[in-house]
Copies of this chain bind each other. A is one copy, B any other.
Amino acid sequence: MARLSDIIEDFIKTLLKESEGELELQRNDLASYFDCAPSQINYVLATRFTLNHGYYIESRRGGGGYIRIVRLDTDKDDYLFYLLKEGIGKELSEQEAVQHLQRMVEQNFISKRDAYIIKSAISDKAIAIPSTLKDGIRASIFKSILAALLSLDEKK
C-alpha cells in the first residue's frame, strides 16, 4: 500500500498542475479529505515541498487562514534553479554570493539594481551575528531570495 504521505504529495501536485503552479488550500480541509491528522499535512509539506524541491510555501493562521503553495518556475532560468537545488549548500560565504550575483546579472536575469539590493541584504555587515553562523544564515536568505525570483507571480 502506498504511503498516505505520497498520496497527499501526488494530490497536491495534481492540483498545482491544474492551477498553473499556484495554489491556496485549507489545512483542515485537506486533512479531513484524507482523514488524517492535520499535522500530517505539515509533514508532507516539510518533506516534499521545500525550497530545495522547488516549492515555496506561505501561510497564515487564524480566521480565514490558508496555506499557499507555489511551484517555482523551472523554465524561467536553469541556472537559478540549479543554484537553488544544488548549487548552494548549507553555507554560503559573502564572496561566493557576490559571484553568483554577478553571474545572474550577466545572464540578464536580474538587474544591476536588484543585485545591489540583494547584495546589501546578504552582506557580512548586514548579517550581524557570530561569524560561525553567518554563512548558514546567508545560504538560507539567498535561497529564499532565489525562490522569490523564481516565483511565478510576476505581479509581485
Q: Which A residues are closer than 8 A to B by beta carbons?
A: 1-3, 6, 63-64, 112-123, 125-129, 133, 136-137, 140-141, 143-145, 147-149, 151-156
Contacts and interface: CB of A to CB of B under 8 A. Distances in A.
A63 B120 contact: no
Contacts of A152: 113, 116-117
Given A2-B64, A113-B152, A156-B112, A120 B144 contact: yes
Q: 9 smallest A-B Cβ distances: which pairs?
A: A120-B148, A126-B144, A3-B64, A116-B156, A121-B121, A128-B140, A120-B144, A126-B141, A112-B156
Contacts of A123: 144
27 contacts: A3-B63, A6-B64, A112-B155, A113-B154, A113-B156, A115-B156, A116-B148, A116-B151, A116-B152, A116-B156, A117-B117, A117-B145, A117-B152, A118-B121, A120-B144, A120-B148, A121-B121, A123-B144, A125-B144, A126-B143, A126-B144, A126-B145, A127-B141, A128-B136, A129-B129, A129-B133, A129-B137
